[in-house]
C-alpha cells in the first residue's frame, strides 16, 4: 500500500524531470490543474504514507529553511547550504531565483536525497519581482484594493516564472512611528485599511489556486506587533496592553487568515516579555486555536537563536525547545532545529509527533503547489522569458505609481505644469535609477531598467532646449560643489522642480532614524533656490513620513511619490504635466516634528482634551511648543480638481443591533479636471464602557468623476462594525450614541448622529 502510493509521485517526478527539457509540454500542462492532484483525500493519503516512511532526520530537514549565498538579508550566511540540501538536512531555500539556479538546487534535493522530496523556494517579493511597483506604503496610499491586488498578482506571476513558490509578504504590521524604517513595507497606521490591503495582497499572491504555476504562497509577517518597537528602533521591545494588541495590531493578521493565507512569519521582537518567536500565546493559543490557522509558521531570520540574547533561553538548544513548543514549524536560517531537535526528542523535551505535525504542514503546501507531481514545474525557461517585465506589467506599475503619489500642497495651481515652460530639474533623486525602486526589490534591476524623472520629463517637454538638469547636491552629504549650477539653471527657468528625499537604504529593515528632515544639505539647496523667487515644485521620494514644516511653508507644490518603482519617472512626469491627476491619500500621518511621534489620527479624547478656543489652556493634553495636530493628517491628499460633499444622510436615527445602517453622500467634482476621490467614512462611539478613539475609519470608496459630475456613494454598516473590546475583553458593540463622519480626509468631515439600541 505504502509503496504503491509513493511510487506514483516519484514516478511523476521522474516524468517531470524528463519533460522539463520539453518546454512546450510543460508549459501546456501547467495551464490546467488536474483534479487528481487537487483531491484532498488523495493528498492526505499520500502524506500519511510519506510521513510514515520518513526518518526523524528527514522530517527535521523539512523544518529547516536556509538562505543561499546569492543575497544576504540577515546577519549570517551558511555557505554549506548545497551540501545540506544533498544530505536532506535543508528542505527549503530562500534568496534563490531564476529557472537555472532554482533547477540546479532542486536537482540537488531530488537527485541526492532518499525520498526525493522537492525543495520549497521562498523569497522577499514585496512590491514586485522584476517589475518593481511603488513601495508597499506608497501602494497603500492608492487606497485602490483592486490595483493593490493586481500588483501582488503580477509580482507572483513574475516570481513564480523564476522558480519561486513562496513570498515573504505581505507585511501587515500596523505602525504609527515614522522613526521605524519598516513603515515603508506596510500599509500605514490604520487597522481597517491595513486589514483590507492585507487581504487584497494575499488574494493577489495566492490567487484562487495554489496549483496554478503563476501563484505563490503568501506569508503574513511579522507576527506580532513588530511595528510598535519602543522609540521606533528596529527590533526593540514591544510592551502593550492586550486591548491594544487585539484592537490595533492583530486584526490585519486575522484578516490574512480569513483570506486564506498559507504561512505566517514570527517577529524579532518580544511582546509583553515573551519573544514572538517563542510565544505560545501568539502562535498556538491565538493563531491556531482562536483563528483556526492551518498553514505553517516560519521564524524570521535566526530569530530562534535570538531567544538567547533576548534572555529567555540559555543556549540554542533551549531556544529550539521553546520555539517548537510555542508553535514554530520552520526555522529560518538559524539551523537550530537541524542541530537540536533530535536531541530534544531523546531528552523527552519535544515529541516526534510535534516534528511530524510541523513537517506535514510544510509537505501539505508543497503538495498543493504541485511539487510532488513535478518538482520542476516552476522551472520553465519559456515562461521565464515570456512573463517578466511585460508591457502589461510595466503599464500596471506606471499606473500604480501614479495612483500612489500624494499631492501634499499645490498653491495657486502651480501644478500641473504646461509642457512648453522652461523647467529646471534639480535634485539628487531626479536622475537616479538606483534609489527610485526603494528597498526590498527582489530581482529588480537598479541599474538599467528604472525610468528616472529626467527621462520621464524628456518625454513630455515639447522643446528639449527648455529642460535643464543638474543634480545640485547629494542625498546625504555636505558637498555644495553643484549648488551654483543648480542656481544657474533655476535662474534661466520658469519653474523649478526639485526631486529630493531619502536614499533607499534609509528606510526598510534596520533603518530607524531619529531625524526625519530631508537628509544632508538638501534643505540648504532648497533655501538657496527659494531666494530666486521662482515657483518651486518639490517631488519627494522617501520611505516614511518626513518632517516638512519648512517645505510646506516655502514650496509652491509638494508631490510625495515614495519610491515609485521601475516606471516611477514616467508616472511622475504624467502627474507633473497633467496627463494624470494625483489621487493618493496618506495612510500615515505626517508629523510637524519628531517630538510628536507616535502620531496617528485615531487618538482618544483623554480626560483633559485640548481645545484651541476653550476657557482653560494650561492643564490640557498638549505640547507647549507645537500644536497637537499633524502637518498632514491621515487620509489627506489633494487633486488638481476639487470635490464637494453634500447630502450626507442615514436612513434612520435609531437602529437595532444587526440592523443595517444605510449611509449615503453625494460627491461632486467642482473643478475643471477629471479626478478620483477617496470618500472616507469614519465613526465615533460617544460613550462606552472603555475609552475609544475620536474617529475610526469604517469604510471608503474610490470614485472617478468628470468635471461637474456628481455621484451618490452608499455605505452600509451593522453593529458588528461598531464592536470593540469591552471591559471584560469580549468583542461586541454597546448600545448608545454614535457619530458618523464622511469626507476627503480624517479632518475635513461632515457629521451626523445615530443611536444604537
Ligand atoms: C528579515 C526580515 O525581517 C524579513 O521581513 C524577511 O522576510 C527575512 N529577513 C528574509 O529575508
740: β partners: 683, 752
**Tens of pLDDT, residues 374-391:** 999 999 999 999 999 999
Predicted local distance difference test score (pLDDT) of residue 697: 98
Counting ligand 1 atoms within 8 A of each CB, the residue from 72, 92, 127, 168 with the most, and so the one to mutate, is 168
Are residues 36 and 61 both part of a single domain? no
Residue 301 alpha carbon to ligand 1 centre in Å: 6
Looking at the structure, tell me whether residues 307 and 323 fall in a common domain: yes
Say if residue 661's pLDDT is above 90: yes
Instruction: Tell me what the mean pLDDT of segment 196-225 comes to.
Output: 98
Domain of 212, CATH number, reads: 3.20.20.300
Q: What is the share, in percent, of the chain residues with pLDDT greater than 90?
A: 93
- In the three-class reduction of DSSP (H, G, I as helix; E, B as strand; rest coil), residue 495 is classed as strand
Per-residue model confidence (pLDDT) at position 11:
34
Nearest atom within ligand 1 for CA of residue 168: 7
Q: What is the DSSP letter of 693?
A: B
Ligand 1 centroid, distance to 123 Cα (angstroms): 9
Identify the three-state secondary structure at position 663.
Answer: strand
How far apart, in whole angstroms, are the C-alpha atoms of residue 350 and residue 312?
18
Tell me, yes or no, whether 78 and 28 share the same domain: no
| Average pLDDT along the chain | 95
At 615 the pLDDT is 87
Would you say residue 605 lies in a domain?
A: no
Q: State if residue 483 touches ligand 1 by the CB under 6 angstroms criterion.
A: no
Among 590, 593, 589, CA closest to 601: 589
pLDDT at residue 461 greater than cutoff 70: yes
The residue among 531, 565, 596 that closes a domain is: 596
Phi-psi region of 128 (alpha: psi -120 to 50; beta: other; left: phi over 0): left
**Does pLDDT of 748 surpass 90?**
no
pLDDT tens for 685-744 read 999 999 999 999 999 999 999 999 999 999 999 999 999 999 999 999 999 999 999 999
Calpha distance 319→387 (Å, rounded): 42
Q: pLDDT tens digits, residue range 55-88?
A: 999 999 999 999 999 999 999 999 999 999 999 9
Q: Are residues 188 and 314 in the same domain?
A: yes
Distance (angstroms) between ligand 1 centre and the Cα of 314 equals 25
Tell me, yes or no, whether 616 lies in a domain.
no
pTM, rounded to two decimals: 0.95
pLDDT band at 20 (very low <50, low <70, confident <90, very high): very low
Please check whether residue 609 lies inside any domain of the structure: no
The per-residue pLDDT for 29 is 34
Ligand 1 proximity of 173 Cβ (cutoff 6 Å): no
CA separation for the pair 124, 83 (Å, rounded) = 24
Q: Which pLDDT tens digit goes with each residue over 534-544?
A: 999 999 999 99
Do the domain assignments include residue 369?
A: yes
Q: Is residue 277 part of a domain?
A: yes
Average pLDDT over residues 670-681: 98
Q: Are residues 327 and 430 in the same domain?
A: no
List pLDDT tens digits, range 724-734. Answer: 999 999 999 99
Q: Indicate if ligand 1 lies below 6 Å from the C-beta of 189.
A: no
Q: Are 93 and 225 members of one domain?
A: yes
The answer, yes or no, to whether residue 356 has pLDDT greater than 50, is yes
Task: Report CA Rg, the chain.
Answer: 27
Total domains in the chain come to: 4
Confidence class for position 19, pLDDT limits 50, 70, 90: very low
Measure the CA–CA gap between 414 and 218, rounded to whole angstroms. 43
Are 527 and 551 found together in one domain? yes
Q: What is the pLDDT of residue 38?
A: 59
Over residues 466-486, the mean pLDDT reads: 98
For residue 18, the tally of other CB atoms under 10 A from its CB is 10
- The grid coordinates listed for 739 are 457619530
Indicate whether 7 pLDDT > 60: no
Summarize the confidence of residues 170-182 as an average pLDDT. Answer: 98
Give the E-state strand segments of 157-282 in sequence order: 166-167, 219-223, 263-266, 270-271, 274-275
SS3 call for 124: coil
In terms of domains, do 278 and 329 share one?
yes
pLDDT of residue 612: 86
CB distance 306 to ligand 1 below 6 Å: no
* CA 476 to ligand 1 centroid distance, Å: 26
- Residue 111: give the domain boundaries: 57-383
- What is the rounded average pLDDT of the residues 462-483? 97
pLDDT of residue 617: 87
Domain match, 377 and 447 both: no
Residue 703 burial (10 A CB sphere; 0-12, 13-18, 19+):
middle
31 band by pLDDT with thresholds 50, 70 and 90: very low
Report the C-alpha gap between 234 and 374 in whole angstroms.
41
Residue 446: Cβ-neighbour burial (10 angstroms; 0-12, 13-18, 19+): middle
Among the candidates 338, 355, 383, a domain finishes at 383
- Tell whether 94 and 212 lie within a shared domain: yes
Please tell me if the CB atom of residue 505 comes closer than 6 angstroms to any atom of ligand 1: no
Ligand 1 pocket, residue 223 CB under 6 Å: no
List, in sequence order, the alpha helices (H) in 691-752. Answer: none
Domain C-terminal end among 571, 596, 621: 596
| Chain centroid offset of residue 252 CA | 11
pLDDT in tens, 266-279: 999 999 999 999 99
Q: Does residue 508 carry a pLDDT above 70?
A: yes
Asked whether residue 602 is assigned to any structural domain, the reply reads no
In a domain, 378, yes or no: yes
Residues forming the active site: 300
pLDDT digits (tens, 9 = 90+) for 92-130: 999 999 999 999 999 999 999 999 999 999 999 999 999
* C-alpha of residue 348 to centroid of ligand 1, in Å: 32
Nearest CA owner, ligand 1 atom 1: 301
Same domain, 346 and 410: no
Residue 39's pLDDT band (boundaries 50, 70, 90)? confident
Distances (CA, A) of 197 to 20, 200, 217, 251, 396: 37, 5, 17, 12, 17
Any domain includes 420 = yes
Same-domain check for residues 454 and 572: yes
H or E element: which one contains 342?
A: helix 336-346
Residues 6 or more apart from 107 whose CB is under 8 A from it? none
Mean of the pLDDT values across residues 171-185? 98
Amino acid at each position: 500500500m505504502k509503496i504503491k502510493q509513493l511510487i506514483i509521485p516519484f514516478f511523476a517526478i521522474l516524468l517531470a524531470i524528463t519533460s522539463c527539457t520539453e518546454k512546450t509540454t510543460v508549459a501546456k500542462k501547467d495551464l490546467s490543474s488536474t483534479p487528481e492532484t487537487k483531491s484532498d483525500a488523495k493528498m492526505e493519503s499520500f502524506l500519511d504514507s510519506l510521513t510514515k516512511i520518513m526518518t526523524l532526520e528527514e522530517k527535521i530537514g523539512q523544518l529547516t529553511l536556509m538562505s543561499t549565498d546569492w543575497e544576504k538579508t540577515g546577519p549570517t550566511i551558511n555557505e554549506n547550504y548545497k551540501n545540506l540540501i544533498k544530505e536532506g538536512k535543508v528542505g527549503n531555500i530562500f534568496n534563490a531565483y531564476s529557472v537555472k539556479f532554482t533547477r540546479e538546487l532542486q536537482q540537488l534535493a531530488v537527485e541526492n536525497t532518499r525520498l526525493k522530496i522537492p525543495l520549497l523556494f521562498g523569497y522577499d517579493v514585496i512590491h514586485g519581482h522584476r517589475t518593481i511597483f511603488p513601495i508597499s506604503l506608497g501602494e497603500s496610499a492608492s487606497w485602490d484594493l483592486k490595483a493593490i491586488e493586481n500588483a501582488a498578482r503580477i509580482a507572483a506571476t513574475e516570481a513564480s516564472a523564476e522558480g519561486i513558490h513562496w513570498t515573504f509578504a505581505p507585511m501587515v504590521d500596523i505602525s504609527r512611528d515614522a522613526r521605524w524604517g519598516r513603515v515603508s513595507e506596510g500599509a500605514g497606521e490604520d487597522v481597517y485599511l491595513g486589514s483590507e490591503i492585507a487581504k487584497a495582497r494575499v488574494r493577489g499572491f495566492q490567487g484562487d489556486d495554489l496549483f496554478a504555476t503563476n501563484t505563490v504562497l503568501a506569508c503574513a509577517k511579522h507576527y506580532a506587533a513588530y511595528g510598535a518597537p519602543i522609540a521606533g528602533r528596529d527590533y526593540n521591545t514591544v510592551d502593550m496592553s492586550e486591548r491594544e494588541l487585539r484592537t490595533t495590531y492583530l486584526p490585519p493578521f486575522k484578516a490574512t487568515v480569513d483570506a486564506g493565507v498559507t504561512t505566517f512569519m514570527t517577529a524579532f521582537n518580544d511582546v509583553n516579555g515573551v519573544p514572538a518567536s517563542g510565544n505560545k500565546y501568539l502562535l498556538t493559543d491565538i493563531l491556531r486555536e482562536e483563528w483556526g490557522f492551518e498553514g505553517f509558521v516560519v521564524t524570521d531570520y535566526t530569530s530562534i537563536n535570538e531567544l538567547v540574547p533576548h534572555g529567555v533561553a540559555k543556549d540554542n538548544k533551549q531556544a529550539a525547545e521553546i520555539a517548537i513548543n510555542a508553535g514554530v514549524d520552520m526555522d529560518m536560517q538559524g539551523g537550530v532545529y537541524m542541530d537540536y531537535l533530535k536531541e530534544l526528542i531523546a531528552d523527552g523535551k519535544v515529541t516526534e509527533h510535534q516534528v511530524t505535525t510541523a513537517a506535514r504542514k510544510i509537505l501539505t503546501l508543497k503538495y498543493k503547489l504541485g511539487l510532488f507531481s513535478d518538482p520542476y514545474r516552476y522551472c520553465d525557461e519559456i515562461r521565464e522569458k515570456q512573463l517578466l517585465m511585460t508591457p502589461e506589467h510595466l503599464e500596471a506599475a506606471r499606473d500604480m505609481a501614479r495612483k500612489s503619489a500624494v499631492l501634499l500642497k499645490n498653491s495657486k495651481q502651480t501644478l500641473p505644469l504646461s509642457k512648453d515652460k522652461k523647467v529646471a530639474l534639480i535634485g539628487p533623486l531626479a536622475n537616479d535609477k538606483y534609489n527610485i525602486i526603494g528597498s526590498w526589490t527582489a530581482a529588480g534591476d537598479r541599474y538599467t531598467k528604472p525610468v528616472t524623472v529626467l527621462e520621464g520629463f524628456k518625454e513630455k517637454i515639447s522643446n528639449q532646449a527648455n529642460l535643464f538638469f543638474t543634480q545640485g547636491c547629494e542625498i546625504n552629504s555636505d558637498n555644495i560643489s553643484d549648488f551654483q549650477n543648480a542656481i544657474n539653471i533655476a535662474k534661466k527657468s520658469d519653474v523649478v522642480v526639485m526631486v529630493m528625499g531619502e536614499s533607499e537604504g534609509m528606510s526598510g529593515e534596520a533603518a530607524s532614524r531619529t531625524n526625519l528632515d530631508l537628509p544632508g544639505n538638501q534643505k540648504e539647496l532648497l533655501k538657496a533656490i527659494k531666494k530666486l523667487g521662482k515657483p518651486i515644485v518639490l517631488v519627494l521620494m522617501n520611505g516614511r513620513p518626513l518632517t516638512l514644516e519648512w517645505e510646506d511653508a516655502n514650496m509652491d507644490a509638494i508631490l510625495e511619490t515614495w519610491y515609485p518603482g521601475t516606471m516611477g519617472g514616467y508616472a511622475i512626469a504624467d502627474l507633473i504635466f497633467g496627463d494624470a491627476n494625483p489621487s493618493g491619500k496618506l495612510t500615515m500621518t505626517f508629523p510637524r516634528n519628531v517630538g510628536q511621534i507616535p502620531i496617528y489620527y485615531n487618538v482618544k479624547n483623554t480626560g483633559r482634551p485640548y481645545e484651541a478656543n476653550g476657557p482653560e489652556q494650561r492643564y490640557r493634553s498638549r505640547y507647549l511648543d507645537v500644536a497637537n495636530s499633524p502637518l498632514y493628517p491621515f487620509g489627506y491628499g489633494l487633486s488638481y480638481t476639487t470635490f464637494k460633499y453634500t447630502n450626507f444622510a442615514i436612513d434612520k436615527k435609531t437602529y437595532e443591533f444587526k440592523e443595517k445602517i444605510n449611509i449615503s453622500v453625494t460627491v461632486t467634482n467642482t473643478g475643471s479636471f477629471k479626478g478620483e476621490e477617496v470618500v472616507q467614512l469614519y465613526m465615533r462611539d460617544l460613550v462606552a464602557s472603555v475609552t475609544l478613539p475620536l474617529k475610526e475609519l469604517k469604510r471608503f470608496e474610490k470614485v472617478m468623476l468628470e468635471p461637474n459630475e456628481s455621484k451618490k456613494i452608499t455605505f452600509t454598516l451593522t453593529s458588528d462594525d461598531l464592536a470593540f473590546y469591552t471591559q471584560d475583553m469580549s468583542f461586541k458593540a454597546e448600545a448608545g450614541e454614535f457619530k458618523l463622519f464622511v469626507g476627503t480626509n480624517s479632518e475635513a468631515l461632515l457629521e451626523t448622529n445615530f443611536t444604537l439600541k
